[in-house]
Amino acid sequence: MGSEMTSADLRVSIGPLKLKNPVMTASGTFGYAKEFEPYVNLHHLGAVVVKGISLEPRPGNPPPRIVETSCGMLNAIGLENVGVERFISEKMVSLQEVNVPVIVNILGDTLDDYREIAARLADVKGIAGIEVNISCPNVKKGGVAFGTVPGMAAAVTAAVKESSSVPVIVKLSPNVTDITEIARAVEDGGADGVSLINTLIGMAIDHRSRRPQLANVIGGLSGPAIKPVALRMVYQVAKAVSIPVIGIGGIESTEDVLEFLLAGATAVQIGTANFVNPRASEEAVAGLASYVAEQKLESIREIIGGLIIP
Protein backbone atom coordinates (compact mmCIF):
# COMPACT_ATOMS: atom_id res chain seq x y z
CA MET A 1 0.00 0.00 0.00
CA GLY A 2 2.72 2.43 1.04
CA SER A 3 4.60 1.97 -2.20
CA GLU A 4 1.53 2.29 -4.39
CA MET A 5 0.65 5.46 -2.59
CA THR A 6 3.96 7.04 -3.36
CA SER A 7 4.23 5.80 -6.92
CA ALA A 8 0.75 6.76 -8.15
CA ASP A 9 0.29 10.41 -9.07
CA LEU A 10 -2.73 11.52 -7.08
CA ARG A 11 -1.90 15.22 -6.90
CA VAL A 12 -4.60 17.80 -7.49
CA SER A 13 -4.83 21.56 -7.13
CA ILE A 14 -7.64 23.67 -5.79
CA GLY A 15 -6.51 26.92 -7.31
CA PRO A 16 -3.24 27.80 -5.56
CA LEU A 17 -3.73 25.01 -3.04
CA LYS A 18 -1.70 21.93 -3.99
CA LEU A 19 -2.78 18.64 -2.45
CA LYS A 20 -0.97 15.33 -2.58
CA ASN A 21 -4.25 13.59 -3.22
CA PRO A 22 -7.92 14.51 -3.61
CA VAL A 23 -9.18 13.02 -0.36
CA MET A 24 -10.06 15.39 2.47
CA THR A 25 -12.22 14.97 5.52
CA ALA A 26 -15.38 17.05 5.86
CA SER A 27 -15.93 19.73 8.45
CA GLY A 28 -17.65 18.60 11.63
CA THR A 29 -16.97 14.93 11.02
CA PHE A 30 -13.27 14.66 11.82
CA GLY A 31 -12.99 16.76 14.96
CA TYR A 32 -9.67 18.55 15.00
CA ALA A 33 -8.01 15.55 13.34
CA LYS A 34 -6.22 14.43 16.50
CA GLU A 35 -9.25 12.31 17.40
CA PHE A 36 -8.43 10.14 14.39
CA GLU A 37 -4.74 9.66 15.04
CA PRO A 38 -5.28 6.18 16.53
CA TYR A 39 -6.82 5.02 13.26
CA VAL A 40 -5.45 7.09 10.43
CA ASN A 41 -2.01 8.09 9.29
CA LEU A 42 -3.07 11.70 8.97
CA HIS A 43 -0.31 12.76 6.64
CA HIS A 44 -1.60 10.32 4.05
CA LEU A 45 -4.66 12.54 3.57
CA GLY A 46 -5.01 15.30 1.01
CA ALA A 47 -6.21 17.72 3.69
CA VAL A 48 -8.34 17.88 6.78
CA VAL A 49 -11.16 20.38 7.13
CA VAL A 50 -11.79 21.20 10.76
CA LYS A 51 -15.07 21.82 12.54
CA GLY A 52 -16.71 25.20 11.77
CA ILE A 53 -15.26 28.11 13.76
CA SER A 54 -17.17 31.24 14.69
CA LEU A 55 -15.95 34.51 16.14
CA GLU A 56 -17.20 33.75 19.63
CA PRO A 57 -17.40 30.33 21.26
CA ARG A 58 -20.79 28.62 20.86
CA PRO A 59 -22.20 25.98 23.16
CA GLY A 60 -24.30 24.49 20.38
CA ASN A 61 -27.80 23.07 20.58
CA PRO A 62 -29.25 21.09 23.47
CA PRO A 63 -29.54 17.29 23.19
CA PRO A 64 -30.62 15.21 21.36
CA ARG A 65 -28.45 16.48 18.55
CA ILE A 66 -28.22 13.48 16.30
CA VAL A 67 -30.57 10.82 15.06
CA GLU A 68 -30.10 8.04 12.60
CA THR A 69 -32.33 7.90 9.53
CA SER A 70 -32.49 5.45 6.63
CA CYS A 71 -28.94 5.28 5.26
CA GLY A 72 -28.20 8.61 6.83
CA MET A 73 -28.26 10.75 9.93
CA LEU A 74 -29.59 14.11 10.96
CA ASN A 75 -27.45 16.43 13.03
CA ALA A 76 -28.26 19.65 14.77
CA ILE A 77 -24.97 20.25 16.53
CA GLY A 78 -25.68 23.96 16.32
CA LEU A 79 -22.10 24.73 15.44
CA GLU A 80 -20.65 24.09 18.87
CA ASN A 81 -17.09 25.40 18.76
CA VAL A 82 -14.45 27.05 20.89
CA GLY A 83 -14.40 30.32 18.95
CA VAL A 84 -11.63 31.64 16.77
CA GLU A 85 -9.30 32.74 19.61
CA ARG A 86 -9.16 29.43 21.41
CA PHE A 87 -9.06 27.69 18.07
CA ILE A 88 -5.86 29.54 17.27
CA SER A 89 -4.30 29.24 20.71
CA GLU A 90 -5.24 25.61 21.40
CA LYS A 91 -6.45 23.59 18.44
CA MET A 92 -4.11 24.99 15.81
CA VAL A 93 -1.10 24.26 17.99
CA SER A 94 -1.77 20.55 17.93
CA LEU A 95 -2.80 20.68 14.27
CA GLN A 96 0.52 22.30 13.38
CA GLU A 97 2.25 19.20 14.63
CA VAL A 98 0.41 17.01 12.16
CA ASN A 99 1.91 16.91 8.73
CA VAL A 100 -1.28 17.54 6.74
CA PRO A 101 -2.78 20.62 5.12
CA VAL A 102 -5.40 22.13 7.41
CA ILE A 103 -8.43 23.88 5.99
CA VAL A 104 -10.43 25.93 8.47
CA ASN A 105 -14.20 25.98 8.07
CA ILE A 106 -15.64 29.33 9.18
CA LEU A 107 -19.13 30.67 9.78
CA GLY A 108 -20.81 33.82 10.91
CA ASP A 109 -24.07 35.65 11.39
CA THR A 110 -23.04 38.77 9.52
CA LEU A 111 -20.67 39.77 6.76
CA ASP A 112 -18.45 41.41 9.36
CA ASP A 113 -18.23 38.17 11.33
CA TYR A 114 -16.89 36.36 8.28
CA ARG A 115 -14.46 39.17 7.48
CA GLU A 116 -13.15 39.29 11.00
CA ILE A 117 -12.63 35.55 11.44
CA ALA A 118 -10.77 35.46 8.16
CA ALA A 119 -8.62 38.37 9.29
CA ARG A 120 -7.74 36.71 12.59
CA LEU A 121 -6.78 33.51 10.80
CA ALA A 122 -4.76 35.41 8.20
CA ASP A 123 -1.34 35.16 9.81
CA VAL A 124 -1.79 31.90 11.70
CA LYS A 125 0.89 29.42 10.71
CA GLY A 126 -0.20 26.10 9.24
CA ILE A 127 -3.49 27.05 7.68
CA ALA A 128 -3.58 25.88 4.09
CA GLY A 129 -6.98 27.26 3.22
CA ILE A 130 -10.30 28.55 4.42
CA GLU A 131 -13.65 26.95 3.72
CA VAL A 132 -16.56 29.35 4.08
CA ASN A 133 -19.76 27.78 5.35
CA ILE A 134 -22.54 29.94 3.89
CA SER A 135 -25.43 27.76 5.04
CA CYS A 136 -25.85 29.90 8.15
CA PRO A 137 -28.75 32.33 8.42
CA ASN A 138 -27.75 35.96 8.00
CA VAL A 139 -29.00 37.58 11.17
CA LYS A 140 -28.91 41.06 9.64
CA LYS A 141 -31.00 40.00 6.65
CA GLY A 142 -33.83 38.44 8.61
CA GLY A 143 -32.25 35.02 8.89
CA VAL A 144 -32.18 34.12 5.21
CA ALA A 145 -29.16 31.90 4.69
CA PHE A 146 -26.22 33.55 2.93
CA GLY A 147 -26.00 30.49 0.74
CA THR A 148 -29.46 30.85 -0.78
CA VAL A 149 -29.15 34.31 -2.33
CA PRO A 150 -26.52 34.77 -5.06
CA GLY A 151 -25.72 38.37 -4.14
CA MET A 152 -25.20 37.56 -0.47
CA ALA A 153 -23.10 34.51 -1.31
CA ALA A 154 -20.89 36.64 -3.54
CA ALA A 155 -20.55 39.30 -0.86
CA VAL A 156 -19.46 36.82 1.81
CA THR A 157 -16.95 35.36 -0.59
CA ALA A 158 -15.50 38.76 -1.45
CA ALA A 159 -15.34 39.75 2.22
CA VAL A 160 -13.41 36.62 3.20
CA LYS A 161 -11.21 36.79 0.13
CA GLU A 162 -10.29 40.37 0.98
CA SER A 163 -9.04 39.60 4.46
CA SER A 164 -7.53 36.19 3.72
CA SER A 165 -4.01 35.29 2.78
CA VAL A 166 -4.79 31.69 1.85
CA PRO A 167 -6.99 30.06 -0.79
CA VAL A 168 -10.69 30.42 -0.11
CA ILE A 169 -13.18 27.64 -0.79
CA VAL A 170 -16.89 28.38 -0.46
CA LYS A 171 -19.08 25.55 0.76
CA LEU A 172 -22.48 25.53 -0.89
CA SER A 173 -25.83 24.60 0.57
CA PRO A 174 -27.92 22.10 -1.43
CA ASN A 175 -31.17 23.59 -0.14
CA VAL A 176 -31.62 25.86 -3.13
CA THR A 177 -33.54 25.84 -6.38
CA ASP A 178 -30.49 26.34 -8.58
CA ILE A 179 -27.12 25.61 -7.05
CA THR A 180 -25.27 26.62 -10.21
CA GLU A 181 -26.48 30.17 -9.75
CA ILE A 182 -24.92 30.34 -6.27
CA ALA A 183 -21.77 28.66 -7.54
CA ARG A 184 -21.38 31.23 -10.29
CA ALA A 185 -21.97 34.03 -7.79
CA VAL A 186 -19.20 32.86 -5.47
CA GLU A 187 -16.93 32.34 -8.46
CA ASP A 188 -17.57 35.96 -9.37
CA GLY A 189 -16.94 36.86 -5.73
CA GLY A 190 -13.42 35.50 -6.11
CA ALA A 191 -13.62 32.01 -4.63
CA ASP A 192 -10.70 29.73 -5.41
CA GLY A 193 -12.98 26.73 -5.34
CA VAL A 194 -16.40 25.55 -4.25
CA SER A 195 -17.20 22.57 -2.08
CA LEU A 196 -20.59 20.84 -2.06
CA ILE A 197 -22.86 19.68 -0.69
CA ASN A 198 -23.53 20.66 2.86
CA THR A 199 -26.39 18.78 4.51
CA LEU A 200 -29.98 18.70 3.25
CA ILE A 201 -32.42 20.11 5.77
CA GLY A 202 -34.50 17.34 7.29
CA MET A 203 -36.50 16.29 10.30
CA ALA A 204 -37.37 13.18 12.26
CA ILE A 205 -40.30 12.51 14.56
CA ASP A 206 -40.82 9.97 17.32
CA HIS A 207 -44.44 8.96 16.88
CA ARG A 208 -44.63 7.49 20.38
CA SER A 209 -43.70 10.69 22.20
CA ARG A 210 -45.15 12.81 19.36
CA ARG A 211 -42.04 14.94 19.54
CA PRO A 212 -39.26 15.83 17.12
CA GLN A 213 -36.25 13.57 17.53
CA LEU A 214 -33.92 16.56 17.59
CA ALA A 215 -34.21 19.24 20.24
CA ASN A 216 -33.67 21.74 17.43
CA VAL A 217 -36.63 20.20 15.52
CA ILE A 218 -34.82 20.34 12.17
CA GLY A 219 -31.31 19.20 11.32
CA GLY A 220 -28.93 18.43 8.50
CA LEU A 221 -29.17 15.15 6.61
CA SER A 222 -25.90 13.47 5.65
CA GLY A 223 -24.62 10.03 4.70
CA PRO A 224 -25.18 7.61 1.80
CA ALA A 225 -28.84 8.65 1.53
CA ILE A 226 -27.85 12.01 0.03
CA LYS A 227 -25.18 10.80 -2.38
CA PRO A 228 -27.40 10.90 -5.49
CA VAL A 229 -28.32 14.53 -4.80
CA ALA A 230 -24.69 15.44 -4.12
CA LEU A 231 -23.44 13.78 -7.31
CA ARG A 232 -26.06 15.56 -9.38
CA MET A 233 -25.17 18.95 -7.93
CA VAL A 234 -21.44 18.39 -8.36
CA TYR A 235 -22.05 17.42 -11.97
CA GLN A 236 -24.12 20.55 -12.59
CA VAL A 237 -21.77 22.92 -10.79
CA ALA A 238 -18.64 21.50 -12.44
CA LYS A 239 -20.20 22.33 -15.80
CA ALA A 240 -21.26 25.81 -14.65
CA VAL A 241 -18.04 27.20 -13.16
CA SER A 242 -14.40 27.11 -14.09
CA ILE A 243 -12.97 27.01 -10.56
CA PRO A 244 -12.34 23.59 -9.00
CA VAL A 245 -15.19 21.74 -7.34
CA ILE A 246 -14.84 19.64 -4.19
CA GLY A 247 -17.45 16.90 -3.99
CA ILE A 248 -19.08 16.02 -0.67
CA GLY A 249 -22.04 13.88 0.30
CA GLY A 250 -22.36 10.24 1.27
CA ILE A 251 -18.86 9.24 0.19
CA GLU A 252 -17.82 5.97 1.84
CA SER A 253 -15.48 4.18 -0.52
CA THR A 254 -12.96 4.53 -3.32
CA GLU A 255 -15.76 3.80 -5.79
CA ASP A 256 -17.74 6.73 -4.42
CA VAL A 257 -14.71 9.00 -4.78
CA LEU A 258 -14.28 7.90 -8.39
CA GLU A 259 -17.91 8.71 -9.11
CA PHE A 260 -17.50 12.26 -7.82
CA LEU A 261 -14.27 12.77 -9.76
CA LEU A 262 -15.95 11.50 -12.94
CA ALA A 263 -18.82 13.92 -12.30
CA GLY A 264 -16.31 16.76 -12.33
CA ALA A 265 -14.96 17.11 -8.79
CA THR A 266 -11.26 17.86 -8.47
CA ALA A 267 -11.24 16.61 -4.90
CA VAL A 268 -13.67 15.19 -2.37
CA GLN A 269 -14.46 15.29 1.32
CA ILE A 270 -15.51 12.32 3.40
CA GLY A 271 -17.94 13.13 6.19
CA THR A 272 -20.36 10.83 7.98
CA ALA A 273 -18.44 7.78 6.79
CA ASN A 274 -15.67 8.68 9.25
CA PHE A 275 -18.05 7.77 12.06
CA VAL A 276 -18.82 4.38 10.60
CA ASN A 277 -15.31 3.55 9.46
CA PRO A 278 -12.69 5.85 10.97
CA ARG A 279 -10.21 4.65 8.35
CA ALA A 280 -12.49 5.54 5.42
CA SER A 281 -10.42 8.53 4.29
CA GLU A 282 -7.06 6.79 4.33
CA GLU A 283 -8.55 3.70 2.70
CA ALA A 284 -9.91 5.86 -0.11
CA VAL A 285 -6.44 7.31 -0.71
CA ALA A 286 -4.99 3.82 -0.94
CA GLY A 287 -7.86 2.75 -3.17
CA LEU A 288 -7.25 5.63 -5.56
CA ALA A 289 -3.58 4.73 -5.74
CA SER A 290 -4.47 1.15 -6.66
CA TYR A 291 -6.97 2.40 -9.21
CA VAL A 292 -4.43 4.63 -10.92
CA ALA A 293 -2.00 1.70 -11.03
CA GLU A 294 -4.54 -0.86 -12.27
CA GLN A 295 -6.00 1.45 -14.89
CA LYS A 296 -2.51 2.51 -15.91
CA LEU A 297 -3.39 6.18 -15.64
CA GLU A 298 -0.73 8.86 -15.79
CA SER A 299 -2.44 10.51 -12.86
CA ILE A 300 -5.78 10.56 -11.09
CA ARG A 301 -6.43 13.89 -12.80
CA GLU A 302 -7.17 12.02 -16.01
CA ILE A 303 -10.57 10.95 -14.78
CA ILE A 304 -11.74 14.29 -13.40
CA GLY A 305 -14.88 15.24 -15.32
CA GLY A 306 -14.41 12.10 -17.40
CA LEU A 307 -18.03 11.06 -17.28
CA ILE A 308 -19.10 9.74 -20.68
CA ILE A 309 -22.52 10.98 -21.72
CA PRO A 310 -23.58 8.60 -24.51
Partner 1 sequence: MSQFQEKTQITRIERFTEDILRLTLESPEIASIAKPGQFVMIRTGNSSDPLLRRPFSISQTSNNLHFQVLFKVVGRGTSILAHCREGEFLSVLGPLGNGFTIDCRNRNCLVGGGMGIAPLLFLAKAMLRKCPDTPPIVVLGSRNREELTTLVYDFAELGLSAYTATDDGSLGHHGLVTEVLETLDLGADCTNYVCGPHPMMTAVHLFCKKRNYSCQVSMETSMACGMGACLGCIVPVEKGGYGHACTDGPVFDAKELVWEVK
Ligand X SMILES: Cc1cc2nc3c(=O)[nH]c(=O)nc-3n(C[C@H](O)[C@H](O)[C@H](O)COP(=O)(O)O)c2cc1C
User: Catalytic amino acids?
Assistant: 136
CA angle at 91 for the pair 136 and 27, rounded to the nearest 5°: 35
Toward a second copy, which CB reaches closer, 164 or 274? 274
Toward partner 1, which CB reaches closer, 142 or 310? 310
Among 20, 51, 91, 301, binds ligand X (CB under 6 A): 51
Q: Smallest gap, in angstroms, from Cβ of residue 91 to a second copy?
A: 31
Query: Does 25 contact ligand X by CB under 6 A?
Result: no
Cα distance between residue 214 and residue 186, in whole Å: 32
Residue 248 contact partner, candidates partner 1, ligand X, a second copy, none, CB within 5 to 8 A by sort of partner? ligand X
Pairing relationship of beta strands 200-203 and 218-222 according to DSSP bridges: antiparallel
Residue 80 contact partner, candidates ligand X, partner 1, a second copy, none, CB within 5 to 8 A by sort of partner? partner 1
| Cα–Cα distances in angstroms (integers) from residue 131 to residues 128, 194, 208, 219, 260, in the given order | 10, 9, 40, 21, 19
Among 40, 152, 191, 248, binds ligand X (CB under 6 A): 248
Cα distance between residue 100 and residue 183, in whole Å: 27
Query: Does 199 contact ligand X by CB under 6 A?
Result: yes
Toward partner 1, which CB reaches closer, 187 or 282? 282
Tell me which amino acid residue 199 is: T
Q: Smallest gap, in angstroms, from Cβ of residue 3 to ligand X?
A: 29
> Which residues form the interface with a second copy (CB under 8 A)?
69-72, 74, 148, 175-178, 200-205, 207, 209-212, 215, 217-218, 221, 223-229, 231-232, 235, 250, 255, 258-259, 262-263, 303, 306-310
> Which residues form the interface with partner 1 (CB under 8 A)?
28-31, 35-36, 38-39, 51, 59-60, 62-68, 70-73, 75, 77, 80, 223-225, 252, 272, 274-279
Cα distance between residue 171 and residue 130, in whole Å: 10
Chain residues that interact with ligand X, rule: CB under 6 A: 26-29, 51-52, 75, 77, 79, 105, 133, 171, 198-199, 222-223, 226, 248-251, 270-273
